[in-house]
Amino acid sequence: MSAPLIIFFVLAALAVIGAVSLILQKHPIHSALSLIVVMVALAGLYLLMGAEFVAAVQIIVYGGAIMVLFVLVIMLLNAGEEERTDFSKLAKFGGLPLALALTGLLAATMTTHGASVPNPETAGALAPTGQISNLLFTTFVYPFELTSFLILVAIMGALVLAQREKS
Partner 1 sequence: MVPTQYYLILSAILFGLGVVAFVFRRNIITIFMSIELMLNAVNLSFVAFSQAMPATSGHKLDGQIFVLFVIVVAAAEAAVGLGIIILTARNRQSLNVERVNLLKL
Site residues for partner 1, 9-68, by CB under 8 A, read 12, 15-16, 19-20, 22-23, 28, 31-32, 35, 38-39, 42, 45-46, 48-51, 53-54, 57-58, 61-62, 65-66
Q: Under rule CB under 8 A, which residues in 97-116 are in contact with partner 1?
A: 99-100, 102-103, 106-107, 110-111, 114-115
Question: How many residues at the interface with partner 1, by CB under 8 A?
Answer: 82
CB of 129 to partner 1, least distance (A): 10
DSSP state of 167: -
Check residue 75 for interaction with partner 1 (CB under 8 A): no
Secondary structure, 3-state, 43-101: HHHHHHCCCHHHHHHHHHHHHHHHHHHHHHHHHHCCCCCCCCCCCCHHHHHHHHHHHHH
Q: Are 43 and 55 in contact (CB under 8 A)?
A: yes
